Structure 1
Amino acid sequence: EIEPWVAPDPEMIGESRRAFLNRATGTLLSASLGGFAAALIAFLWKSADGGFGSKINAGKLEDVIGQIRANKGFLYLPEARSWVTEYPKEAISKADAIYRGQGPVFAGMSEGIVALYQKCPHLGCRVPECKTSQWFECPCHGSQYNRVGEKKGGPAPRGMDRFGVSVNNGMVVIDTGTVFGGPPIGVNTTGQEAEGPHCVGGTGGH
């Protein structure tokens, strides 16, 4: 026997709709929190495992400097997402006035090296070296930096950002957990000008 159709109670419909919306909201919130937690765990796991965001062992200081010179002034370390170059000891007194407030950065300079973040501070493109000019020259918008990451030309708002460097028992450690902002426009502690043709259009200048 077919039961006759009975119109549902309007209050029950409202209650069911509210229950559905509450369940849907709870599900979406749980999914969002779950995704955030997974991303956070992945980041922390990567840092603890020695990836970018942690302290990177770059090797012996003498070997690092040897590799810089063998690569004509530039050493790229992908695990640290950074360029490592020599900082001239004769310029350390000028660096003192600019970088002393960034203790870990200045410590690396005092040891003769600087670790520069690969990202251009303009819009985040990866900045390559230019072997002919001996500068860093961004192919995206033409920003230029000397060999220690001080701005020489283009639209970037400052010099290249950098990481702290420590040398313990002759071993170089780059701390990629903290990014130090690059120096202001106009800073040129080494006095280095372009040493040959540019790889990116322009002739430098602020």
Structure 2
Amino acid sequence: MLELKKITKSFGKKTIINQLDLTIPEGTILAIVGPSGGGKTTLLRTLAGLEKVDSGDFLLDGKKFDPINLKEQEQVVGVVFQDFQLFPHLSVFENITLAPKMVLKETETVYTEKAQKLAKQLGLEGLLDQYPYQLSGGQKQRVAIARAMAMNPRVLAYDEPTSALDPALRQQVEHLILDLKKEGVTQIVVTHDLVFAKNIADNLLEVSPVQ
């Protein structure tokens, strides 16, 4: 279970997140919904250790942790960013396996087997030798999800996963997130799309723009 206690984050004089309490039970989906400027992406960045909070505590299974100071091998939250951030000069296989090889120090046998399993799970079979420029937007997103999952995070988080997708692709993303839930994956979804959020989420957190 992931818990946030009294999390506060400001930029200059503007408080973006103010005394936030959150509990995300294992295997559930939390959707954070609201327009731009409400601190949704900032919250994901703090969970991923990309931004430092001003105050508050993060707890995993009742034990405090600092996302900024985790060992490289310990990833609590893996984030799939809105622009995917794939390495254009690497194949799908290399994008998925780079961090397990370099950070987790996995053997070739282990990371290859992991990539093949994730490819099957996420509908990427036959695409492992392709490069990002050869993929559709939906395929790139699945590669980004596979890459995040390859680091064995306890929680998988998405920043606007349906942004700029047509209705058919949006439905595919819904199915994918719900399929991962069936496998016990704890997920956080940041979105401005309330209908999408209600379709997938166990719990909703609605945020408003900071005044």
TM-score bracket relative to the smaller structure? under 0.3
Structure with greater Cα Rg = 1
Q: TM-score, normalised by structure 1?
A: 0.23
Relative CO higher for 1 or 2, CA cutoff 8 Å, sep ≥ 6?
2
Q: TM-score, normalised by structure 2?
A: 0.22
